[in-house]
Amino acid sequence: MIYLTADLHFGHKNIIEHAHRPWKNVDEMNEGLIENWNKLVHQDDEVYVLGDLSWVSRAKTVPLIYRLKGRIYLIRGNHDNDVLKKDCVERFEWVKDYFYLKVQDPDGPDGKTQPIILFHYPILSFNHINYGAWHCHGHCHGSLPVDMNVKRLDVGVDALEANYSPISYARIKEMMKHRKFIPVDHHEELKGR
């Protein structure tokens, strides 16, 4: 199975209030996020974390991330600097700033794969947007209005669809069925300039 998630912010006390998370304190939040993750994810599953995994020191992050099941791939977010040191980074299959994921799926636009652009930040216009690609991101904590005319999704734990858990590829696929892509040709605007 493939899962996507973002913005766990392990150890971030203020995120509980800022993002209206349902926990009383940071220890309860950390345990709740780990429990939610491990209820869904099995050891051989792939989990793409689209940034902002932890808010605390590397020493406090290491014991938390080693409790998470699955093979974890990290897309760097704006709060991941301390996570990129040796004892943390060894937990990840790889660490990148951006990734063009191709999921084997006969329902994909080419009949073989579904391309998904993975980045911490939402992108207005992304690679292969006109050819059926999707874009998954974090950073917004569920605050970005959903646009049913573009195949973009906030997979952060605070997004309504996530419910403080990773989101499976199958669930993302189901959500994308209800979205369409309406292309906007900006070239007409440029004529005559």
Domain containing residue 176: CATH number: 3.60.21.10
Domain count, the chain: 1
Work out the pLDDT band at 85, boundaries 50, 70, 90: low
Q: What is the DSSP letter of 147?
A: -
pLDDT in tens, 27-61: 999 999 999 999 999 999 999 999 999 998 888 89
**Could you please report the per-residue DSSP string of 55-77?**
SS-HHHHHHHHTTS-SEEEEE--
Q: Is residue 76 part of a domain?
A: yes
Q: Is residue 193 part of a domain?
A: no
Residue-level pLDDT at 168:
98
Q: Is residue 190 part of a domain?
A: no
Q: Is residue 18 part of a domain?
A: yes
Q: Is residue 187 part of a domain?
A: no
Q: Is residue 139 part of a domain?
A: yes
> For residue 173, which of 96, 106, 83, 99 has the smallest C-alpha distance?
106
The pTM of the full predicted model, rounded to 2 decimals, is: 0.93
Q: Is residue 188 part of a domain?
A: no
State the residue range of the domain holding 52: 2-180
Q: Is residue 26 part of a domain?
A: yes
Q: Where are the alpha helices (DSSP H) in the chain?
A: 15-18, 26-40, 58-65, 86-89, 169-177, 187-190
Work out the pLDDT band at 181, boundaries 50, 70, 90: confident
